[in-house]
Amino acid sequence: MSKIDRLVTAIDPAPHAPEHGQDAQKLFRRIVATPVKARRRVRWPVVIPVAAMLAAVAVMGVAFIPTGAPGGVAPAAALAFERSGDAWIVTVKDLYADPERFASEFKARGFDIRLMIAPGSPSIVGHVTATDDSEGAGIEEESVECESGRCTASFRIPRDFKGSAQISFARPARPGERYVSAGDAEATGELLHCVPFRGMTVDEVRAVLAERDGSIEEFRVGKRSDRAQQVPGNWFVTDAVPSAPGQVLVWAQPGRVKLTPEMTMHVKKKMAGCPND
């Protein structure tokens, strides 16, 4: 065995503590007998990493948006896009959405398109009332579906449309609103539907409207369609236009009405399917 081996062998790996004296034992018993005040456990706040928090939010289905947004929850999309051949079918899901929302959602798809939605009479609600596009690309109405007073409208946009456009839609009027656009007074859903009012007297038309909880808002008379609040009840009605919920504008004249062949065909078409046709 070498000198180094002998030195290592002589080392005690677990040396014994020295014997305690009497005084040391008394001190030990005094320390043990002294009550120790329990330390209050401090719970430090748990910091969740941002990535983990966002992952949890995604699982719960809650969408967060910048703090400046109203309510803190992202609004549902106002438009829905669906590919169809060489075009996009765009469905307006919320006819009451702000125009800036529409523009933002179109911009996200690469389109410079603005939707202008305003109150319209029942027969044209949900329909495109006007289009104005820089390329003449033929943006067309696709479909309209209404249920329980709510309507969705779809239109077709060429997939490679690169110009700018403005599309006008009609939506249901809120209480107190006037129509910005209106359909034919005798169209389905309108106050004078199935009523051959042209050639009837003002009193006769007024009576029909009263039965349908409607009224004449105002009159237009003369070659310049001057405004008039009242006209004689025996004047004859030449035309009428829906102006607001429950109201119509009426054109009237003192003489009898002579319908042109074109107007006669128009009336016949509008009255098709009506009772006593």
Q: Are residues 110 and 153 in the same domain?
A: yes
Q: Pick from 171, 188, 220: which residue ends a domain? A: 171
Residue 88: how many other CB atoms lie within 10 Å: 17
Can you give the residue range of the structural domain that contains 121?
76-171
Q: Mean pLDDT over residues 251-270, rounded? A: 92
61 pLDDT more than 90? no
Confirm whether 118 is domain-assigned.
yes
Task: Give residue 23's pLDDT band: very low, low, confident or very high (50, 70, 90).
Answer: low
Q: Mean pLDDT over residues 22-47, rounded? A: 45
161, with CB counted inside 10 A (0-12, 13-18, 19+), is buried
Range of 57-66, 73-82, 228-237 with top mean pLDDT = 228-237
Mean residue pLDDT across the chain? 77
Total domains present in the chain: 2
Range of 103-112, 122-131, 231-240, 256-265 with top mean pLDDT = 231-240
Q: Pick from 171, 193, 210: which residue ends a domain? A: 171
204 pLDDT more than 90? yes
Q: Are residues 88 and 163 in the same domain?
A: yes
Q: Are residues 99 and 163 in the same domain?
A: yes
**Unique residue bearing structure tokens 């009898």:** 256
Q: Are residues 80 and 151 in the same domain?
A: yes
59 pLDDT more than 90? no
Q: Are residues 146 and 81 in the same domain?
A: yes
Phi and psi (nearest 5°) for 276?
Answer: 60, 30
pLDDT tens by residue, 67-107? 344 444 556 788 999 999 889 999 988 888 888 999 999 99
Q: Are residues 165 and 206 in the same domain?
A: no
Confirm whether 44 is domain-assigned.
no
Confirm whether 194 is domain-assigned.
no
Q: Are residues 144 and 206 in the same domain?
A: no
Q: Mean pLDDT over residues 131-142, rounded? A: 74
Confirm whether 69 is domain-assigned.
no
Confirm whether 178 is domain-assigned.
no
Q: Pick from 171, 188, 211: which residue ends a domain? A: 171
Confirm whether 25 is domain-assigned.
no
Q: Are residues 156 and 209 in the same domain?
A: no
Q: Which residue has the higher pLDDT, 39 or 103?
A: 103
Q: Are residues 108 and 148 in the same domain?
A: yes
CA 233 – CA 230 distance, rounded (Å): 9
Confirm whether 138 is domain-assigned.
yes
Q: What share of the chain in percent tops pLDDT 70?
A: 70
pTM across the whole model:
0.65
Confirm whether 64 is domain-assigned.
no
Q: Are residues 84 and 163 in the same domain?
A: yes
CA 172 – CA 245 distance, rounded (Å): 9
